Amino acid sequence: MKNQITFAPLLTLVLTFCLSITAIADHHDEASNLSSIKPIHSTNFGIDQADIEKIVAQMQAAVDGEFIPGALLLVGNSDGVGVLETVGMQSPGRSTPVNKDTLFRIYSMTKPIISVATLSMVEEGLIALNDPVSKYIPEFDNLRLIDQENGDISSAKNVMTVENLLTHESGLIQEIFSPNSTLGQMYGENIKGNMTARELAGTLGKLPVFFEPGSAWHYGHSTDVLGAVIEVAAGKPLDVLLYERIFGPLGMNETTFFVPVSKKFRIAEPIHGAMSDNTIVRPLLSGGGGLNSTTEDYVRFAEMLLNNGEYRGSRIIEESTLELMLEKRIGPEVSREFFFYGNTGDWGLGFHLQPTDGTNANGPHNYGWRGIGGTIFIIDEENDFYMIYMEQKRGGPRGAPFDNNVAQLMVYEAMRN
């Protein structure tokens, strides 16, 4: 551990965080990277056995209460894994326990992967942060703005840039996060289920934006459009691009947009509601939320980030590039009206920036993101660890005794103790 952890204020802070490839290569025989940390290096990041038992009991309570069928929690760093706990089954009515190879729909945990791929292309001069989106998606030329009060549409004053897509300051929204707005309803009327990423981006480009690009933060289709932009800039499909730049070098051979039918038995399913069948190949390669992955695979991505852009000899992005991604982007000129966390925290180029000391907004931050299916990952550079929590949920009753918010809360509390 790099520093003594004193995170009492974080316990309240975390509770306010309440969100939400076609297979290119078969998984090859490769040794697992989930090796346990030897006691000489660390004592489970300061988490003792009593703390682990308390965490597992809460996880099990979520299973026993039929909120979820199963879950996995992992805490590790480049030395290895200090905590790896699982409870329950992959799916309701099945007898296969959740494990490191269980396949989860990671939804918006796709976004940081797309963001890293984009910045790797920035390094090579294939794309620039200040490039207009219309350079790659011409439908965004002559951008229009909708008046949120009366629905009037006028010409936008600002140009939407690649950086705006990375920071969610593009003016693009998503129907699920703004269902009662006129623009949200327009999205519902115009977006079709059989679109490609390029077709989706073109459709959005023909519609007005919710606000002037760069003037506010709003979650939405920004990273879907970004996926289409880097496809055009690279001249290749998104699944191929991601494999070449991230998945191949990291050995993430089970992180794909669609799961082979032969692996269907490893896919986690929720108790409540239904999730789409991710063995069915569809036209859309969604940069905003289309990937499936295992804990084993996502550890490689998390460890690469914790190790300043490099994973066991494979450099994905330069350390200076990652530092750029972790700079705060919600300045005083940017409205936080729609920011999930109000005045708390910030946003970088593709990651949340969450203070680890609730009394010091300018102090150390962890970073990462979550998926609407219940997954989350965080990277804490100051204290040299990453955390990954995997579950699969789709609606259901509120008040689960354990979820991705509680996972952060209990891990930090255990470290503090």
**DSSP string of 387-404?**
EEEEE---S--S--SSSH
Segment holding 70, helix H or strand E: strand 70-77
- End-to-end CA distance of the chain: give it in Å, rounded: 14
416, pLDDT greater than 90: no
Amino acid at 165: L
Q: Residue 307 has what pLDDT?
A: 97
Beta-bridge partners for 103? 267
Largest CA distance in the chain: 65
Say if 310 falls within a structural domain: yes
Quick one: average pLDDT of 222-227? Answer: 98
Say if 21 falls within a structural domain: yes
Say how far apart CA 90 and CA 258 lie, in whole Å.
18
Say if 241 falls within a structural domain: no
Hey, what are 153's tokens? 């549409």
Contact 316, 304 (CB under 8 A): yes
Say how far apart CA 387 and CA 380 lie, in whole Å.
8
24, pLDDT greater than 70: no
2, pLDDT greater than 70: no
Three-state DSSP class for 85? strand
- Among 32-36, 298-302, 361-365, the range with the most confident prediction by mean pLDDT is 298-302
Indicate if the alpha-carbon torsion angle 20, 24, 27, 29 is positive or negative.
negative
Say if 368 falls within a structural domain: yes
Say if 373 falls within a structural domain: yes
Segment holding 102, helix H or strand E: none
Amino acid at 157: K
Say if 136 falls within a structural domain: no
Question: Which residue in this structure is represented by tokens 């925290």?
Answer: 345
Closest CA to 250 of 116, 81, 350: 116
Say if 95 falls within a structural domain: yes
Q: Residue 44 has what pLDDT?
A: 72
Closest CA to 229 of 197, 257, 260: 197
Domain count, the chain: 1
Confidence tier at 133 by pLDDT (50, 70, 90)? very high
Amino acid at 2: K
Say how far apart CA 146 and CA 159 lie, in whole Å.
15
Question: Which residue in this structure is represented by tokens 């001069």?
Answer: 125
For residues 389-412, b (16+ Cβ closer than 10 Å) or e, as one string? bbbbbbeeeeebebbbbbbbbbbb
Closest CA to 114 of 255, 208, 211, 214: 255
**% of the chain at pLDDT higher than 70:** 90
33, pLDDT greater than 60: yes
Give the DSSP letter string of 198-259. Answer: HHHHHHHHHSPBSS-TTSB---SSHHHHHHHHHHHHHTS-HHHHHIIIIIHHHT-TT-BSS-
Q: What is the CATH number of the domain that holds 23?
A: 3.40.710.10
Hey, what are 67's tokens? 């909120």
Check: pTM over 0.85? Answer yes or no. Answer: yes
Say if 100 falls within a structural domain: yes
Closest CA to 259 of 289, 285, 279: 279
The residue range of the domain holding 75 is 8-28+37-105+259-279+290-416
Say how far apart CA 127 and CA 249 lie, in whole Å.
21
Phi-psi region of 345 (alpha: psi -120 to 50; beta: other; left: phi over 0): left
Q: What is the pLDDT of residues 177-216, one digit of tens each?
A: 999 999 999 999 999 999 999 999 999 999 999 999 999 9
Say how far apart CA 411 and CA 195 lie, in whole Å.
41
